[in-house]
Chain A
Amino acid sequence: MEREKAYNFAYLDEQTKRMIRRAILKAVAIPGYQVPFASREMPMPYGWGTGGVQVTASVLGQDDVLKVIDQGADDTTNAVSIRKFFKKTAGVETTTETGRASVIQTRHRVPEDELRPDQILVYQVPIPEPLRFLEPRETETRTMHALEEYGLMHVKLYEDISRHGHIATTYAYPVHVNARYMMDPSPIPKFDNPKLHRMAALQLFGAGREKRIYAVPPHTQVHSLDFDDHPFEVQKWDKACAICGAEDSFLDEIITDDAGGRMFVCSDTDYCNRQCEGVAK
């Protein structure tokens, strides 16, 4: 697709890209630390992935192949809209195949396929601060990170256990990166948390409204918080995907009628398609 020439390549001006690129390098050098950056107003609303879009725009080159997913799917409206944005402003090739993509922007999921070293995963992040719901003040949470004072989070998780018998956090489940910074993995289901640990691909996180960028370099230790007597565990389904039969993927529940009928299908549409093809072959 021919790129729209009225705007700079990948929309952002070069000065903005430089500022973001410097922030990304700092983020990589300090895994899990949230680097403040002068986030710009983007032509889509805050909350729609402006942080992820700015990060993608700053790393993207002519030869990249871009994949965009929302809830694991390539055809959700916002994924379609962001993909279209980069097609128009950068003219880059886009794909729905995880294996073909060099840059993958995501909202709320990590692809089921193992990612490779030559891929970059860009997460859209609404609230980058894992401690924010326990302490609304930035001045306080910043000090907690500085002092590596994360007791508050452990107390919160333990209160869950004593009240519900479980840790009641099922998504945006906090992680400890490189045994130093506590990090919000973005609102991915905790099912995806283990994939972050020692992932071969570089993981970049962009929060536009909150003006923060952070990163997990390849092969970096990412530990989901837990307790000796309550080890971290992920969601399990007693059903397989109704379309492809996969038993190892994250399943979305679909309500099929008004009599309570429901079925479960893969949230990762590309994975599901390939499972089907594999069965057909």
Chain B
Amino acid sequence: MTMETELSPGFQEPVHGAQQTFRAVLDALSRPGIPVPLSGIEAAPDPMGPTLAAAALTLLDHETGVYLAPPLDIEAVKRYIAFHTGAPTVSEPADADFVIALADRDMPDILQLKTGCAEYPDQSATVLLGVRDFGSGEKVLLSGPGIAETQEFSPGNLDAGFWTTARQNHARFPLGVDFILCGPESVAGLPRSTSIAV
């Protein structure tokens, strides 16, 4: 028998919490590289963080397979996601509709995730990625839809390797995956449509 531990709560007001989170995520994805303030769920289980938890509870449900990358593949997070969203966990990243990961940890190979196909590029994965902050990382220059000219972007603990992969991801457009970067108090978007210069 497993020990019954107390389950962390989700949104205080599920309807409005999800709506506010969605609008922040929508705004973020519509304007790549600009962090959008989001309060998130304070009580989220470690090491998820408030904004990552809020994004997950807003977007996941029983129709979306989720892959939890280490170190998020722990019982507390699994139970939290299962209870609040009903999303089935998948063991292979390639089967996931959503991948939840932390930036400098065991991220699955982005290029192996679902990209959609030429007829249905929407049948692709979305990566919810926890980052330390939006200022301490390597600086890149973004351009493309949602960006008037160019946008500087330097999310914490994402290295050159990530940006190489992200550029390869963009090169496959309209196929590819979309990133929602979740910082401590804000979220930022990096859709497949964004071109990246290092």
Contact = CB atoms under 8 A, between A and B. Distances in A.
B163 interface: no
A28 B173 contact: no
Nearest to B121: A30
Given A25-B29, A36-B122, A18 B15 contact: no
B146 to A, nearest CB: 4
A195 interface: no
A162 interface: no
Interface stretch (B18-26, B68-76, B133-141): B18-26
From A9, A27, A29, A143, residue with most partner B Cβ within 10 Å: A29
Given A9-B15, A30-B193, 8 more contacts: A21-B58, A30-B121, A33-B122, A36-B120, A146-B117, A198-B148, A217-B29, A217-B146
> Chain A, interface size: which category?
35 or more
A59 to B, nearest CB: 7
A160 B146 CA distance: 34
Given A202-B26, A219-B147, A22 B64 contact: yes
A28 B121 contact: no
Contacts of B193: 29-31, 178, 217
Given A25-B178, A30-B122, A180-B174, A15 B26 contact: no
A14 interface: yes
Nearest to B27: A202
Interface string B16-38: 10111011011101110000000
A18 B121 contact: no
Contacts of A21: 22, 26, 58-59
Given A18-B59, A31-B193, A217 B30 contact: yes
Given A9-B16, A25-B25, A30 B174 contact: yes
A210 to B, nearest CB: 15
Contacts of A145: 119
A29 B145 CA distance: 9
B186 interface: no
Interface in A151-208: 178, 180-181, 198, 202
From B59, B117, B145, residue with most partner A Cβ within 10 Å: B145
Contacts of B65: none
Nearest to B20: A61
Interface of B: 14-16, 18-20, 22-23, 25-27, 29-31, 58-61, 63-64, 117-122, 124, 126, 144-148, 173-174, 178, 191-193
B151 to A, nearest CB: 10
B30 A147 contact: no
Contact of B30 (A14, A36, A202): A202
Nearest to A64: B23
Interface string A54-77: 000011111000000000000000
Contacts of A15: 61
A245 interface: no
A220 interface: yes
A142 B146 CA distance: 25
A29 B59 contact: no
Given A14-B14, A59-B23, A219-B145, A28 B174 contact: no
A117 B146 CA distance: 10
A146 B15 contact: no
A217 B145 contact: yes
Contacts of B25: 25
B26 to A, nearest CB: 7
Nearest to B86: A15
B191 A29 contact: yes
B164 to A, nearest CB: 20
From B63, B119, B174, B191, residue with most partner A Cβ within 10 Å: B174
B13 to A, nearest CB: 10
A32 to B, nearest CB: 9
Contacts of B191: 28-30
Contacts of A61: 16, 19-20, 23
A62 B16 contact: yes
